[in-house]
Amino acid sequence: MALQTRMVTFDCADPASLASFWAAATGLRESWRHENDFLILGESPGLCLGFQQVPEPKTVKNRLHLDLSVSGGRAQPLPERRAVIEAEVERLVAAGAHVFRVLDDAPNDYFAVVMHDPEGNEFCVN
């Protein structure tokens, strides 16, 4: 039997607040809540995001991150992809994210933005 990944869970200080950000970022809706210490966005089958309250703060760089693909990929011209990505980055900043680094490698036809969610978890917009 093949293993299926059904949920990626974020350890966080404020599950409701972080889930609200990720709902805005992904369009996923809350599907389950245990009081205010664990929430799930999304429905099975499919990937869900979990948000679990933990007492300790985030202290190191994530070794795993989500990529939000918004630009249509390399089938689209780089200037068009860049414009779509930059618009999405603006929307996510307004929702509480922060720009960490811009990956601009035009000679290799690549553009992405590394961001942090409101609790400092890294993710990419490409």
Domain ranges of the chain: 7-53, 66-125
Q: Supply the pLDDT for residue 28.
A: 95
**Count of alpha carbons within 13 Å of 65, Cβ hemisphere only?**
19
* 89 to 47, 51, 95, 99, 125: CA distances (angstroms): 22, 22, 10, 8, 7
Per-residue pLDDT for 47 more than 70?
yes
For residue 45, name the pLDDT band (cuts at 50, 70, 90).
confident
What is the arithmetic mean of pLDDT over 82-86? 98
The CATH superfamily holding the domain 7-53 is: 2,3-Dihydroxybiphenyl 1,2-Dioxygenase, domain 1 (3.10.180.10)
Mean pLDDT of the chain: 94
What is the arithmetic mean of pLDDT over 105-125? 96
Q: Supply the pLDDT for residue 44.
A: 78
What is the arithmetic mean of pLDDT over 31-60? 92
